[in-house]
Chain A
Amino acid sequence: MLEYESKEIFSKFDIPLVKNILILKGEDIEEKVRGFSFPAIVKAQIAIGSRKKAGLIKIAKSTYEAISLCDEYFNITIAGFHVEAILIEELVTIEHEYYCSIALDTSGRQFYLIASKEGGIDIEEVSKTNPDAVVKESLSFQEGVSEVLANEVACQLGFSGKQIVTASQIFMNLWDIALNLEAQLVEINPLVLTPLGIFAVDGKMILDDAAAFRQPIVQKLQHKKLTALEKLSKKAGFSFIELSGDIGILANGAGLTMALLDVLSELGLQPANFLDVGGGASKERVYKALELIFKLKPKAVLVNIFGGITRCDIVAQAIIQALNDFSNAPPIIIRLTGTNEKEGIALLKEANIEAFQDVMEAVKKVKEVLSEQDVYN
Chain B
Amino acid sequence: MYITENSKVIIQGITGKQGIFHTHLMVNYGTNIVAGVTPGKGGQEIYGIPVFNTMKDAIQETCADTSILFVPARFTLSAAMESLIAGINMTCIITENVPVFDMIKLVEKAREKRLHLIGPNCPGMLIPDKIKLGIMPSDMCQYGDVAVISKSGTLSYEITKAIGNSGIGVSAYVGIGGDPVRGTTMREAVAYYSEDANTKIIVLIGEIGSDEEEKTAEFIKSNVSKPVIAYIAGKSAPEGKRMGHAGAIISGDFGTAKGKIEALKAAGALIADLPWDVPKIIQKLT
State the CA gap A360–B246 with chains docked (Å).
Answer: 28
What are the residues of chain B within 8 A of A264 when measuring CB–CB? 236
Query: Contacts A258-B248, A262-B235, A338-B137 known; A253 to B153 CB distance under 8 Å?
Result: yes
Interface SS of B by simple majority: loop
Q: How far is the CA of A70 from the CA of B22 in the complex (A)?
A: 59
Interface of A is mostly: mixed
B20 at the interface (CB under 8 A from A): no
Assess whether A169 is interfacial by the CB under 8 Å rule: no
Chain B hits for A124, CB < 8 A: 252, 254
A188 to B195, CA, bound (A): 44
Mark each residue of chain B from 231 to 256: 1 if its CB lies under 8 Å from any CB of chain A, else 0.
10111111001111111100010100
B248: which A residues are within 8 A, CB to CB?
A: 254-255, 258
User: Which chain B residues lie closer than 8 Å to A278 at the CB level?
Assistant: 96
* In the complex, per-residue mask of A231-260: 1 if CB is within 8 Å of any chain B CB, else 0: 000000001010100000001111111110
Cβ-based interface call for B168 (8 A): no
Docked pose: A210 CA to B246 CA in angstroms: 9
CB <8 Å contact, B104 and A253 = no
For residue B10, CB closer than 8 A to chain A, the reply is no
Interchain CB contact under 8 A, A279 and B99: no
Are A241 and B241 neighbours in the complex by a CB distance under 8 Å?
Answer: yes
Q: For window 144-168 of chain A, which residues contact chain B by CB distance below 8 Å?
A: none
Which residues in A have their C-beta under 8 angstroms from that of B276?
Answer: 359-360
A337 to B157: give the CA distance in the assembly, Å: 10
A73 close to chain B: CB less than 8 A = no
For chain A, the bracket of interface size reads 35 or more
Partner of B154, one of A106, A209, A306, A360: A306
Interface status of A369 (Cβ within 8 A of chain B): no
Inter-chain contact A262/B158, CB cutoff 8 Å: no
In this assembly, does B197 line the interface, its C-beta being within 8 Å of a C-beta of chain A?
A: no
**B115 interface hit (Cβ, 8 Å):** no
Contact, CB under 8 Å: A308 / B155? no
Within 8 A of B (CB), among A244-297: 251-259, 261-266, 274, 276, 278-280
Distance (whole angstroms) from the CB of A264 to the closest CB of chain B: 8
**Contact: A308 with B247, CB < 8 Å?**
no
CA distance A213 to B123 in the complex (A): 24
Partner pick for A255 among B73, B135, B152, B215, CB 8 A cutoff: B152
Cβ contacts A to B, 10 pairs, < 8 Å: A106-B100, A108-B215, A109-B185, A124-B252, A208-B101, A253-B154, A255-B178, A256-B155, A259-B233, A359-B158
Which 5 residue pairs across A and B have the least CB separation, nearest first? A255-B152, A253-B154, A254-B244, A255-B155, A276-B244
